[in-house]
Amino acid sequence: MDIVYQGEHVLPGQLGNFFIVLSFLASGLAAYSYFKASKGDLGWNKLGRIAFRTHSIAVLGIIGTLLYMLINHLFEYEYVWKHSSHIMPLRYVFSAFWEGQEGSLILWSFWHMVLANVLIWKGGKWEAPVVSVVALVQFFLGSMLLGVFIYNYQIGINPFILARESVENFGLPWTNNPDYLSFPQFMDGRGMNPLLQNYWMTIHPPTLFLGFASTLIPFAFAIAGLWKKDLQGWIKPALPWAFFGVMILGLGILMGGAWAYEALSFGGFWAWDPVENSSLVPWLVLLGGAHLMLINRNKTSSLFSALLLIILSFILVLYSTFLTRSGVLGETSVHSFVDSGILPQLLVFLLFFVVLAAGLFLQKKMRFKFWIAQAALFVLGVILAVWSDSTSAVKIPIILSVLIAGASLIYAYRTHFPKSDKEEHLWSREFWIFVGSLVLFLSSLQIIIWTSLPVTNLFLEPFSGLFTALHELSGIDFFRSLADHNFAPPIERVMEYNRWQIPFAVLTTLLVAVGQFFRYKQTEMKTFFKKISFSFIVAALLTLTIIFLTPFSKESVAVNFLLFTTIFAVIANTDYLVRITKGKMDTAGSSIAHIGFALLLLGALISTSQSDKISRNSSIYDVKSLSEDLNNEEDIVMFKGDTLQMGSYFAVFSDRFREGINMHFKIDYLENNPNSYEVGDVIFQKDMVFQCTEPHQASANFIDDMDKFWQFVPFPNERQSQVIEKWNSGKPGKLAFSLEPLVQLNERMGNTPEPDTRHYIHKDIYTHIKWGRTEEAPVDADGFLEPFSKELAKGDTLIGYKAKIIVDSILPIPDLNRYGLVDGDIGARIVLRLEETERDTSVNVIFGLRESDILEIPVTIESYGLQFMIESIDPTTGKIKISTSEHGENQRDFIVMQAISFPFINVLWIGCIIMVLGSLLAVRHRIRVNKIELKKVS
Amino acid sequence: MKKSHIIGIIIIAVCMGFILSSLFEASTYADFKEAFDHAGKEYHVVGSLDKDFDIVYNPETDHALTVFHMIDEKGESKKVKLFKAKPQDFEKSETIVLIGSAVGDEFHAEDILMKCPSKYEEGQSMEALVK
C-alpha cells in the first residue's frame, strides 16, 4: 500500500528534478553539438546554441526551485531542513542556498553557464570548441547533482530529495508515518550555522566560485588551441578572460582572508590551512599563466609553458574541489568535511580532464594510443574498485595514469614544440616574465605538495610492504615512516610555510619591480639601470630607515629583503606609471595592479611580523594586590572590574550581557598616561620596597629608573607600609574605546567566539575571548547559589569566594531556649570565624536534634553573602557536616582573553582594493585591444 | 646545455626537494602507544574525549591549563594536560587531535584541533583553529 503523506509539497521537488535532468542532458547535447560544429559544420553550431540555452534555462530553473523551497520553508525537503529555519532572516536565504555541498555545486555551475553565454554572444571562430569544453564540464558537474543509484553506488547528491528519502534517514520509523510533517522536528528546520549568518557568507562564496569558474575559460581556450592545432591563436581572445580570472579569484580569496580576520578567533587573516591553500594555488598558477600568455601573444617563446600553466590552473581548481569535498583531508583541516561519498566521482572528474588535456599535447596517432591506454587503466581501476575488498589496489592504476600523463607531457614538449633557434636574450621582457612565472609556479608547487600530505599518505599505502622491506634491509628510519604512511602537517605550520614562501615572495616582488622596465626582445642595459636607479635608491633609503628605527632590525634577513623588494615594487611601478605610461588609464592597469600586489604583501608583512600579543606581559594594576606582576602567557585572566596594563593601554573587563544568541563581553580600553612620582612615594616592585628620592616621570622599565630615583627600603616602617603601592610606568587615563568580543551561543552548533577589533589608520587592536562565562549559575529565590556540603573538624578551613571560613569551636548549649530550642532537644553551637582581608567576624551556627530529627536552622550573614546550615555532627570523631551556600554576587566574574595589535594592517586591505582595480583596468585594456585588432582585420 | 633543459632539471630537482621536505618536516600521526614509547617526541594523536573523566579547568589558578582524559583510536585512555584555555564547547567535540608529546604517564599537549558534530556542513563552514 502506498502511503499518502500529509502536507508534503511534492511538485517543487519534481520540478527541480526535471530541471536537473534537463540541465544534465542539455549540457551533454551541447557538448556533442559544439564538438561536431568545431569540425566545421555550422548546422551543429546552431543546435549547440539551442542546447546550451536550454541548459542555461534549466540551471536557472534549478536555482529558482530551490530558492522557492527555502523561502517557503518546505522543511520536508532535506536540503531546506538542513540549511534554513523560520527565524532565519530572509537576507540570509542566499547564504543558506550555497551553505551545503549541493548548493555550492549549483552556484559553481551557474557561473560557468553565465560565462559561456557571454562567449556565445560574442561568437566567432572559437565559440564552438571553447563552449564544447565548458558544456562538457557542465555535464560532469550536472552528474554530481543527479543522486541516482547504480546498484549500490550513488552518483551525485540530489538537492531535491525529501528528508524521508535521504540515505541518513533510511529505514527510520518516522519515514513510514503519513503524519510525519506534524512532528516537532519538522516544525522548523535545523537552521544555518549561526557563524555563517553574516554578510560575508552572502558575498564571499559567489565571488570565490565566480573566480573558480573563470579559470575554466582560458583553460577551454587552451584546449581548443591544442585541438584545432592553433597553438598561438587562442591567446589573444583568451587574454581578457585570464586577467578577469586573476581579478575575481584574487578578490574572492582575499575576501576569505578578511572574513577570517573579522569573524574568527585565530587572530589573523591567513593560516595556511589546506582549504585556503587549495584556492590560492590555482590563482598563483593562473597569474603565471596569464603573464606567459602576454609575452607569447605576438611572438612565441614559451608557448608550452603558457599552455601548461593555463591548463593546470583549472586542473588545480578540480583538485581543490577534490581535496575539500571528498573528506580526504581528514583531521588536517578545520574545514574538512564528512565524507559524503562523492570521492570517486570527484576523482574521475579530475582524472578525466588531466588525461584529456595531456593527450591533446600529443599528435594524432600518439594521442589516440595514449587515450586508449588511459581508458584501459580506467576500466582496470573500476574492476579493481568493484571486485576488491580494500581500496589499495585501485590506487595503482591511478598512480600509473598520472605518471603516464606526466611522461607524455615531457615527450610532447621535446618532440612537438617549436623551439626558436635564437634563444631569448637574457635582458628581455620575455625572459624575465618567464622567470617570474616560474617562481610563481615553484611557490604554488611547494604549497600544494605540503597541503597534499594526506593524499601522499593515501597513495603511499599500497607500497607499505615494499617500504617495510626496504627499512629492514637498510635500517634507514625514513623507510619506516614511509611504510607507516601517517604523515601529519608540521607542528609549527605557519612558520614552516613562511620559511619557503617569503623567499619566493622576495623573488616575485623583485621581478614585479623591474619587469616592466625590460623591453621586449632586448634591452639596453645602461638605459635599464638608469631607469630603475631612482626607485631603487628611494626604496633602499626607506627600507634602511625602517630597519633602523623600528623593531624590523630584529627580523630575519629574508623578511628584511621582502620589506625592501615590496617597497621597491611600489615605488618602481609608481615611477613607471607616472614617467612612462604618463598616467594614461588605458595602459595603467598593470602598474596599478602591481602596486596593489606589492602593497598587499607589504601590509601582510608588517602586520604579521610586527603583530604584538599585547595581552602577554600585561600586569594587574590593582593597588591592593601584592601578587606577582609579570605574566608571560599569551592570554590574560581579567576579573570584572580589575584594571590591567596592556601594551599602550589599560584594559578593564567592565560588563557581560546577553543579546539574542550572543553573550557580549565589554572591555574598556583606557589611555595609558605617563605616571609621575613625588619624593617620598613608596612602591613595591618584585617583592622589594623602594622610596622615591626625586620627582620624575616613570620610564617604561623600572630598571631604567631604579638607580636614579629610587632608594631601596629593606625594612619599611608602619607609615610606609600603609601607603605602599605597586610601581607602574603609566596610569589609566580616560576611555579610548570599548570593544565587545562575544561568544555566539547555540545549543546545536556549539559556542563560537567572535572577535571585536578597533580599527585605527595605523593599526588594529584585535580582541577575542578564549574563555568566558556563558551560562548563569542557577540561584535560588534569594540569589544564593547551590549549597555544597563538607565534613569539617575543629580548625578546618573552607575557602569561599569572599572569605575564609574556619571552624573555630564546637560548644554545648547550656540554655536551649536562648537559641530557639525547647526542652528535650539536643543542641550544639558551632562557632565559625570568617576571615577577610579587612576584618574578621565570628558567627554562631546552631545544630539541633529533636526526637532524632535533625532541625534545619539556616544562618545567613548578609554582609558576606554566605548561608550556613549544620547537617549533622558525629560525636565520636567530632566532625561536623556543614552545608555552605554563597550568594551569586560573591562570584567574581572573569574572562580569559587575548588582545593583539596589528600595525599597518590597512596597507594590506588597501593593496587588495588597488590590485583588483588595476586588474579591472587591465581586463578593459585587453578587451579594447582585441576589438581594435578585429576591426583592422575585417 | 640548452636553457630550457636547465630549467627543466631545476624544476624537477626543486620538486623533489619540496616532496622530501614535506615528508621530513612532517610530524606524524600516532596513537598513544607510539607516543608513550617515544616519550618526549612530538606527535599528532587523534582521539576523542573520555567522558568517564572530568574536564578540569580552573582559570583562577591557571588560565592556561586544561586537564582531561582522551581515548585514542586504539581505545587507550590517557590523562592529557593541555597548556591552553579550555576550548569553547570542548565537551561537545567529536574528534580531537592533540599536538604534543608524552611526559611520564601524561600527554602534554601544546595545541589541539577539534571537530564538533554538525558544525561541519558538507559546504562552506568556516571555523577557527583552536589556537
pLDDT, tens only, A764-785: 999 998 888 887 777 888 888 8
The whole-angstrom separation of Cα A34 and Cα A50 is 11
The whole-angstrom separation of Cα B44 and Cα B38 is 13
- Strands, E assignment, A640-704: 643-646, 649-659, 662-674, 676-677, 682-685, 688-692, 696-697
Q: Mutate which of A70, A637, A894 to disrupt the B interface (most B C-beta within 10 Å)?
A: A637
Query: Nearest Cβ partner of B18 from A449, A488, A743?
Result: A449
Query: Nearest Cβ partner of B28 from A438, A481, A896?
Result: A481
pLDDT value at residue A336: 43
Q: Would you call A431 exposed, middle or buried from its count of C-beta atoms within 10 A (0-12, 13-18, 19+)?
A: buried
Give the type of residue at B20: L
- pLDDT over 90, % of chain B: 23
* Cβ separation B127–A195 shorter than 8 A: yes
Query: Which one is predicted more confidently, A235 or A690?
Result: A235
pLDDT value at residue A166: 82
Query: Nearest Cβ partner of B88 from A263, A488, A743?
Result: A743
pLDDT for A393 beyond 80: yes
From chain A residues 267-286, the ones with a CB under 8 A of any chain B CB are 267, 271, 273
- 3-class DSSP state for residue A369? helix
Top-confidence range, A552-561, A662-671, A704-713, A833-842: A662-671
ipTM over 0.90: no
pLDDT value at residue A213: 97
Task: Quote the minimal CA–CA distance from A260 to chain B in Å.
Answer: 8
Report angle CA A93, A97, A98 to the nearest 5 degrees.
130
Q: Which residue's C-alpha cell is 607524455? A: A408
* Cβ separation A633–B119 shorter than 8 A: no
The whole-angstrom separation of Cα A429 and Cα A441 is 18
Q: Which three cell numbers stand for residue A367?
A: 594521442
Among chain B residues, the shortest Cα distance to A261 is held by: B128
Q: Which residue's C-alpha cell is 575559460? A: A217
From chain B residues 92-121, the ones with a CB under 8 A of any chain A CB are 92, 95, 97, 99, 110-111, 113, 115-116, 118-121
Q: Which of A87-101, A284-298, A312-326, A819-833 has the lowest mean pLDDT?
A: A819-833
Among chain A residues, the shortest Cα distance to B120 is held by: A337
* Residue B85 contacts A, CB cutoff 8 Å: yes
All residues of chain B having their beta carbon less than 8 Å from the beta carbon of residue A633 are: 63-64
Q: Quick one: DSSP state of residue A892?
A: P
All residues of chain B having their beta carbon less than 8 Å from the beta carbon of residue A83 are: 121
* Residue B123 contacts A, CB cutoff 8 Å: yes
Query: Which one is predicted more confidently, A695 or B118?
Result: A695
DSSP structure string for A252-274? HHHHHHHHHHHH-TTSSS----H
Query: Nearest Cβ partner of A486 from B29, B59, B64?
Result: B29
Q: Which three cell numbers stand for residue A406?
A: 606526466
Q: Are A284 and A182 within 8 A, CB to CB?
A: no
Q: What is the mean pLDDT of residues A690-699?
A: 87
Query: Nearest Cβ partner of A635 from B30, B63, B97?
Result: B63
Give the type of residue at B24: F
Phi, psi dihedral angles at A155 (to 5 degrees): -100, 110
A14-46 pLDDT per residue, tens: 999 999 999 999 999 999 999 999 988 888 999
Query: Nearest Cβ partner of A453 from B2, B4, B26?
Result: B26
Q: What is the mean pLDDT of residues A668-689?
A: 86
Q: Which three cell numbers stand for residue A321?
A: 574541489
All residues of chain B having their beta carbon less than 8 Å from the beta carbon of residue A407 are: none
All residues of chain A having their beta carbon less than 8 Å from the beta carbon of residue B124 are: 98-99, 104, 196, 201, 205
pLDDT value at residue A138: 97
Mean pLDDT, chain B, integer: 79
Q: Quick one: DSSP state of residue A818?
A: G
All residues of chain A having their beta carbon less than 8 Å from the beta carbon of residue B66 are: none
All residues of chain B having their beta carbon less than 8 Å from the beta carbon of residue A637 are: 59-60, 63
Q: Mutate which of B34, B99, B122 to disrupt the A interface (most A C-beta within 10 Å)?
A: B122
pLDDT value at residue A628: 38
Confidence of residue A338 (pLDDT cuts 50, 70, 90): very low
Helix A216-227 to helix A235-263 angle (10° resolution) is 150
* Residue B58 contacts A, CB cutoff 8 Å: no
pLDDT for B119 beyond 50: no
* Cβ separation B85–A423 shorter than 8 A: no
* Residue B22 contacts A, CB cutoff 8 Å: yes
Helix, strand, coil percentages (3-state) for chain B, rounded to 5, are: 25, 35, 45
* Residue B46 contacts A, CB cutoff 8 Å: yes
Q: Are A582 and A524 within 8 A, CB to CB?
A: no
The whole-angstrom separation of Cα A897 and Cα A755 is 10
pLDDT for B130 beyond 50: no
Query: Nearest Cβ partner of A99 from B85, B88, B124?
Result: B124
The whole-angstrom separation of Cα A724 and Cα A711 is 14
All residues of chain B having their beta carbon less than 8 Å from the beta carbon of residue A482 are: 23
- pTM above 0.90? no
Q: Are A32 and A67 within 8 A, CB to CB?
A: no
Among chain B residues, the shortest Cα distance to A753 is held by: B88
* Cβ separation A635–B120 shorter than 8 A: no
- pLDDT over 70, % of chain A: 95
Q: Are A22 and A51 within 8 A, CB to CB?
A: no
The whole-angstrom separation of Cα A29 and Cα A43 is 14
- 3-class DSSP state for residue A616? coil
Cα dihedral across residues A61, A63, A68, A73: positive or negative: positive
In sequence order, the β-bridge partners of residue A748 are none
**Interface A:B, Cβ pairs < 8 A:** 171
Which stretch of DSSP H or E encloses residue A575? helix A557-575
Query: Which one is predicted more confidently, A504 or A783?
Result: A504
Q: Are B36 and A467 within 8 A, CB to CB?
A: no
All residues of chain B having their beta carbon less than 8 Å from the beta carbon of residue A326 are: none
Q: What is the mean pLDDT of residues A110-135?
A: 95
In sequence order, the β-bridge partners of residue A387 are none
- 3-class DSSP state for residue B86? coil
The whole-angstrom separation of Cα A536 and Cα A517 is 13
pLDDT for A421 beyond 80: no
The whole-angstrom separation of Cα A56 and Cα A63 is 11
All residues of chain B having their beta carbon less than 8 Å from the beta carbon of residue A424 are: 3
The whole-angstrom separation of Cα A66 and Cα A724 is 71
Q: Are A31 and A150 within 8 A, CB to CB?
A: no
pLDDT value at residue A386: 81
Query: Which one is predicted more confidently, A827 or B66?
Result: B66
Confidence of residue A618 (pLDDT cuts 50, 70, 90): low
Q: Are A564 and A606 within 8 A, CB to CB?
A: no
Task: Quote the minimal CA–CA distance from A669 to chain B in Å.
Answer: 22
Non-local (6+) Cβ contacts of A50 within 8 A are none
Mean pLDDT, chain A, integer: 87
- pLDDT over 90, % of chain A: 45
All residues of chain A having their beta carbon less than 8 Å from the beta carbon of residue B59 are: 637, 771, 894, 896
Among chain A residues, the shortest Cα distance to B114 is held by: A334
Q: Which three cell numbers stand for residue A354?
A: 588531466
A856-868 pLDDT per residue, tens: 788 888 888 888 8
Query: Nearest Cβ partner of B63 from A442, A752, A896?
Result: A896
Longest dimension (CA), chain B: 69
The whole-angstrom separation of Cα A208 and Cα A183 is 39
Which stretch of DSSP H or E encloses residue A104? helix A101-122
Alpha helix ranges (H) inside A156-215: 199-214
Non-local (6+) Cβ contacts of A377 within 8 A are A397, A400, A401, A404
Among chain A residues, the shortest Cα distance to B95 is held by: A331
Phi, psi dihedral angles at A306 (to 5 degrees): -60, -50
* 3-state secondary structure string across A185-200: HHCCCCCCCHHHCCHH
Non-local (6+) Cβ contacts of A738 within 8 A are A654, A666, A667, A668, A669
Confidence of residue A424 (pLDDT cuts 50, 70, 90): low
Confidence of residue A145 (pLDDT cuts 50, 70, 90): very high
Confidence of residue B128 (pLDDT cuts 50, 70, 90): very low
> Within a 10 A sphere around the Cβ of A924, how many other Cβ atoms?
16
The whole-angstrom separation of Cα B26 and Cα B109 is 17
pLDDT for A251 beyond 50: yes
Query: Which one is predicted more confidently, A812 or A801?
Result: A812
A270-300 pLDDT per residue, tens: 989 888 999 999 999 999 999 999 999 988 8
pLDDT value at residue A789: 82
* Residue A490 contacts B, CB cutoff 8 Å: yes
* Cβ separation B25–A449 shorter than 8 A: no
Confidence of residue A838 (pLDDT cuts 50, 70, 90): low
* Cβ separation B85–A771 shorter than 8 A: yes
Among chain B residues, the shortest Cα distance to A426 is held by: B3
Among chain A residues, the shortest Cα distance to B26 is held by: A490
All residues of chain A having their beta carbon less than 8 Å from the beta carbon of residue B85 are: 635, 770-771, 896
All domains in chain B, ordered by first residue: 28-115 (2.40.50.140)
Task: Quote the minimal CA–CA distance from B85 to chain A in Å.
Answer: 6
Among chain B residues, the shortest Cα distance to A336 is held by: B120
- 3-class DSSP state for residue A25? helix
A43-75 pLDDT per residue, tens: 899 999 999 999 999 999 999 999 999 999 998
Task: Quote the minimal CA–CA distance from A425 to chain B in Å.
Answer: 11
Task: Quote the minimal CA–CA distance from B70 to chain A in Å.
Answer: 16
Closest CA to A691 of A717, A675, A710: A710
B37-64 pLDDT per residue, tens: 988 888 999 999 998 888 888 777 777 8
